[in-house]
Structure 1
Amino acid sequence: MSSEDFAPPARPTAATKRSFPGARAIGALILREMATSYGRSPGGYLWAILEPIGGIVVMTLVFSAFLRSPGLGEIFPMFYATGMLPFVMYTGLQGKIASALNFSKPLLAYPTVTFVDAIFGRFILDVMTQLLVSYIIFGGIMLIYETRTTLDFPLIFESFALAALLGLGLGTLTCYVFTRFPLAQRAWGIITRPLFIISCIFYLFDTIPEPYRSYLWYNPLVHVVGLMREGFYPEYDAYYVSRVYILGISLVSLTLGLLLLRRYHAELMHR
């Protein structure tokens, strides 16, 4: 036996020391988020499912009264679900992450909890919630109706992943902006209010005449929705989708947001 067999164990590195407290902090923040967001109202998680279901039902009733058939397929609920659920994935994440610092400010006073933990705690919980809601809604529609859709799971998961990454990126950037400039949150709400109309939830990108179609292309949610619909309707060719464009916006926003929060998070905590 060599002397190496009796050597003392290597001293834990800084990364090793940080990993377990970081994981525990994120887990605790997720549990706190679940308790505060879904545990205070009767029904809890049930409302997270009923809200998008109610939106699909209402829109189905309204638009089926004026249109004979949806843009794709034969039933309105599936067509609107393929547009609304990736949209809700993005908006839910962006809004949750944007308020992560203010929501977790009391816990950020502890040295083992960082702003990264607060952001990723909310990100993980909301992604899991939205995926569960989407699974229930898509599954329910397919059980109730004869949708005649062919699911392309790689495209569907890619659409959800890009929506989640976009929400994480813009949410992290707006987390700094909203905390530093509180009035910016109201301005953001006004600016982004038309997103529900201009994200191709109720219609197809191909049906928009020029030059408005070219302007609409710069809305990254149009690409996310188009990818989702291509995953459900094999006859639909979302030729306009640019994954590089979505990744560019998401990663640049995420990087800039993390750099700003790292530089100013201590100052923001005392505002």
Structure 2
Amino acid sequence: MVFATPRIIVALILREIGTSYGRSPGGYIWALAEPVLGIALLTAIFSIGFRMPPLGNNFPIFYATGLLPFLMFVDLSNKVAQAINYSKQLLAYPRVTFVDAILGRFILNFLTQLLVGFIVLSGIIFLFDTRAAINASDIVSALTMIAALSLGVGVFNCFMMSMFQVWQRVYGICTRPLLLLSGVIFLYETIPEPYRSYLWFNPLIHVVGGVRSGFYHNYDVPYVSSAYVYAVAAILGLFGLVLLRRYHRDILER
């Protein structure tokens, strides 16, 4: 019985591979094509109006280090948020818990996003003279922040979206400007006060800054606070878990 939960999580992961990615090659291709097309579009637009990116000398690597962590957060948090709805039929079995469903979706999609990011960034570094100076410790630290934040936000939204259908629309509307407010297409330091201080409270600013510091050795990011990101992730995640534990039976009966 000790190994019941790991076996269930693995089974849920294999199920999602078959349903989300394995039905056709297009599932995996789109996971890679989405960030590639996004980076290409940003590069094409901003290279027309600017001779150099805000940091470094290469547009693709600059926008890749902003867009990839942003897309990773969006994909992971959304997948975790739909974990109960996605596995509702399986949750009728006593041995399958909502925690299994959440962890199964999170682990698979986190590994998928890691692979996508590795392929895209490796391709850019191979094709262009990016002069990137990779700092593995900074990148791992930033990835850990992304994982924690995505899980925390996803767990909270898992309760909200499962309990209140309107929350999915409300959350989508409220987070639509995040691409412009998370440092993907600009540097945090270039924002004038008092708006810079307001943006500091967006945890994605810290995540994107942390990733970029891992590719630009001369980019100092004193504003990045991993403690703040982990605090936001922990508060939302724990609150979501408490609510799911209390109301998950009601959600399954809806």
Q: Determine if the TM-score, normalized by the shorter chain, exceeds 0.5.
A: yes
Paired with 2:26 and 2:201, the residues of 1 have a C-alpha distance of 39
- Structure 1 segment 6-155 matched on structure 2, within 5 A: 17=1, 19-155=2-138
Paired with 1:110 and 1:121, the residues of 2 have a C-alpha distance of 16
Partner of residue 231, structure 1: 214
Partner of residue 169, structure 2: 186
The CA deviation string for residues 1-55 of structure 1, in whole angstroms up to 9 with x for no partner, is: xxxxxxxxxxxxxxxx2x3111111111111111111123443312211111111
Partner of residue 177, structure 1: 160
1:222 aligns with 2:212: no
Paired with 1:41 and 1:227, the residues of 2 have a C-alpha distance of 35
Q: Give the letter aligned to residue 166 of structure 2.
A: L
CA drift of 1:261 comes to: 0.6
TM-score by length of 2: 0.98
Paired with 1:183 and 1:95, the residues of 2 have a C-alpha distance of 15
Partner of residue 13, structure 1: none
Paired with 1:69 and 1:166, the residues of 2 have a C-alpha distance of 31
Tell me, yes or no, if the aligned pair for 1:70 and 1:76 is still in contact at 8 Å. yes
CA drift of 1:58 comes to: 1.1
Q: Secondary structure at the match of 1:25?
A: helix
Q: Secondary structure at the match of 1:232?
A: coil
Calculate percent identity across the aligned residue pairs.
Answer: 52
Q: Relative to structure 2, which stretch is displaced further, 45-54 or 199-208?
A: 45-54
Paired with 1:43 and 1:246, the residues of 2 have a C-alpha distance of 34
Q: Give the letter aligned to residue 242 of structure 2.
A: L
- Structure 1 segment 229-268 matched on structure 2, within 5 A: 229-268=212-251
Superposed structure 1 runs of 4+ greater than 6 Å apart: none
The CA deviation string for residues 198-219 of structure 1, in whole angstroms up to 9 with x for no partner, is: 0010010000001111111110
Unaligned runs of 5+ in 2: none
Tell me, yes or no, if the aligned pair for 1:30 and 1:125 is still in contact at 8 Å. yes
Tell me, yes or no, if the aligned pair for 1:89 and 1:160 is still in contact at 8 Å. no
Unaligned runs of 5+ in 1: 1-16
Paired with 1:161 and 1:127, the residues of 2 have a C-alpha distance of 11
Paired with 1:59 and 1:98, the residues of 2 have a C-alpha distance of 28
The CA deviation string for residues 75-127 of structure 1, in whole angstroms up to 9 with x for no partner, is: 10000011011111111111001010000000001111100000000000011
TM-score by length of 1: 0.92
Q: Give the letter aligned to residue 64 of structure 1.
A: S
- Taking only aligned residues, the RMSD between alpha carbons, in angstroms, comes to 0.9
Tell me, yes or no, if the aligned pair for 1:108 and 1:115 is still in contact at 8 Å. yes
The CA deviation string for residues 147-185 of structure 1, in whole angstroms up to 9 with x for no partner, is: 111100011011111011101001001100111111011
Q: If you compute each CA radius of gyration, which structure gives the higher value, 1 or 2?
A: 1
Q: Secondary structure at the match of 1:111?
A: coil
